[in-house]
Amino acid sequence: MGKKSKSGTQDDSLLEPSYEQVKELFDAVEGLEALDDEMNNLADGDLLDAAERGDSEDIAMALELGANPNAQRSEEGESALLLAITSGKASAVRALLEAGAARDMTCELEHGTESMRVTPIAFAHYRREAKIVELLADGTRRKKRGAVTSGDAGSPDSDLGLAALYGDAARAREALAAGASPNGRDPDRGTPWLALAISGGAIDVVDVLLRAGADPNLDEEYGGAKRSMLELARLKERFEVVKLLRAAGARPSPTPYRREPPSKRKRVLDAKLVAALRKRDAKTVHARLMTGADPNAVTDTGEPLIAMAVRSGSAEIVRELLHCEAYPDAEHDGVTVLALAVERGDVAIVKELLLENADPNRGKTLGDALAALDAKPQEEILRELLKWGLDPDLAVGNESLVARLARDGRDASVELLRAHGARD
């Protein structure tokens, strides 16, 4: 009861706590909550450490102290259950499952700079932990009241994805032999397993996938756009992978890959590449490209290196640049590199550019370059261009190419154009 005043009435003001008292009470409660959170976080940390060691006794102790059986290293990182699977201790997995750990919770599994989302049972299947797979599958059977599907219990496709993540070529071969698709993708993100192997620098796995029939022209979503495997390999500086992809039939991107501002190291490498090009030193050009020089760099005058290589007359150097994804339709002063090669009458370089999908109908100077050639290289180059889709009605100034060549008495070239449908 409140204290009575001298008049005999109760003084209610004495029942109301002051602001300072209320604040002190709230601070005390917040302090207790913060302490409780800190204790839980400590317990979660102890649980994760114990799970990684596979120590079922320490797991039980951490759970008694309030640890969350679904604790994770980070917001979407490895869970206690995934860490227990890594330890290979079925007793640790059982302790977590009995405490309510979610069997179907996908987690971000990291390796090096790469990651993929995986279910506990798929991870256990990949690690060949038969007892743990059975523990996880038993709960799944009860939950679904029936048999466990291959997707529930891991599959060749998920094994292949994990083999790509870990760079395990032997496991990749096993998964492929068991029926995994070499063109498989991460079901959550759509990332091809080939891209995962490329990003992680798993050259042996890339080779295994390509030999098994993986499409070297697969693409992946990146920044709201599509990115080719060649582009990915270039951006990740996986130059041996670039060679594997090219050998498997990868085509350059229809536009140059997105270039990031060059670092100081890149600028030095590019300068050394330019110096090697000026010396027509194919061996050094190859070495510079393999250490990270940019095949799509430009000189101080804005000339693409591929144009510089065309002017050098070295088909070998042009091939080196193209195989590292130099843009085959690059232009300088309005002239494509293909038109430049035609202008020079360089049949070998024209063939190299066309093999890498240079567009024979791009730009406005190709007709003039063709018309100016001597008869022999003109006929040979024209035959190549038509084979790769040159418009037979190509114009030269105000007249058609066929009319111009007829006027110049180039009968063989005229017949070639007419055979491909050129109109007089």
The pLDDT score that the predictor gives to residue 19 is: 60
For the cut 70, the answer to whether the pLDDT of residue 115 exceeds it is: yes
What's the distance, CA 224 to chain centroid?
A: 13
For the cut 80, the answer to whether the pLDDT of residue 13 exceeds it is: no
Structure tokens at 110: 């990291």
The pLDDT score that the predictor gives to residue 122 is: 92
32-53 tens-digit pLDDT: 554 455 545 578 888 999 999 9
Quote helix, strand, coil % in the chain, to nearest 5: 55, 10, 40
The pLDDT score that the predictor gives to residue 148 is: 35
- Domain ends where: 137, 165, 195? 137
Do 197 and 227 belong to one domain? yes
For the cut 70, the answer to whether the pLDDT of residue 10 exceeds it is: no
The verdict on residue 15 lying in a domain is no
- Domain ends where: 248, 276, 303? 248
- Domain ends where: 104, 137, 170? 137
| CB 82 within 8 Å of CB 107 | yes
| CB 106 within 8 Å of CB 117 | yes
Spatial separation of the C-alpha atoms in residues 326 and 310, rounded to whole Å? 12
Do 127 and 185 belong to one domain? no
The verdict on residue 204 lying in a domain is yes
What's the mean pLDDT in 102-120? 87
Q: How confident is the model at residue 123 (pLDDT cuts 50, 70, 90)?
A: very high
Do 49 and 97 belong to one domain? yes
The verdict on residue 254 lying in a domain is no
Do 127 and 36 belong to one domain? yes
The verdict on residue 286 lying in a domain is yes
Q: How confident is the model at residue 239 (pLDDT cuts 50, 70, 90)?
A: confident
Closest Cα partner for 390 from 359, 348, 415? 359
| String of DSSP letters for 190-222 | --BHHHHHHHTT-HHHHHHHHHTT--TT-EEEE
Q: At 314, which CATH number?
A: 1.25.40.20
| CB 112 within 8 Å of CB 120 | no
The pLDDT score that the predictor gives to residue 269 is: 87
| String of DSSP letters for 144-205 | HTSPPPTTTT--HHHHHHHHHHHT-HHHHHHHHHTT--TT-B-TTT--BHHHHHHHTT-HHH
What's the mean pLDDT in 407-424? 91
Total tally of structural domains belonging to the chain: 4
Tracing tokens 């201790």 back to the chain, one arrives at 89
Do 35 and 130 belong to one domain? yes
What's the mean pLDDT in 154-180? 94
186-207 tens-digit pLDDT: 988 889 999 999 999 999 999 9
Q: How confident is the model at residue 154 (pLDDT cuts 50, 70, 90)?
A: low
Cβ-Cβ contacts under 8 Å for 301 (sequence gap 6 or more)? none
**Weakest-pLDDT range from 40-44, 100-104, 267-271, 336-340:** 40-44
| CB 213 within 8 Å of CB 175 | no
Do 128 and 160 belong to one domain? no
Do 377 and 276 belong to one domain? no
The pLDDT score that the predictor gives to residue 27 is: 61
- Residue 116: its H or E element: strand 114-118
**Residues facing residue 222 across a β-bridge:** 225
The verdict on residue 104 lying in a domain is yes
For the cut 70, the answer to whether the pLDDT of residue 324 exceeds it is: yes
Q: How confident is the model at residue 25 (pLDDT cuts 50, 70, 90)?
A: low
| CB 124 within 8 Å of CB 136 | yes
Domain boundaries, position 376: 338-345+361-423
The verdict on residue 16 lying in a domain is no
Do 36 and 129 belong to one domain? yes
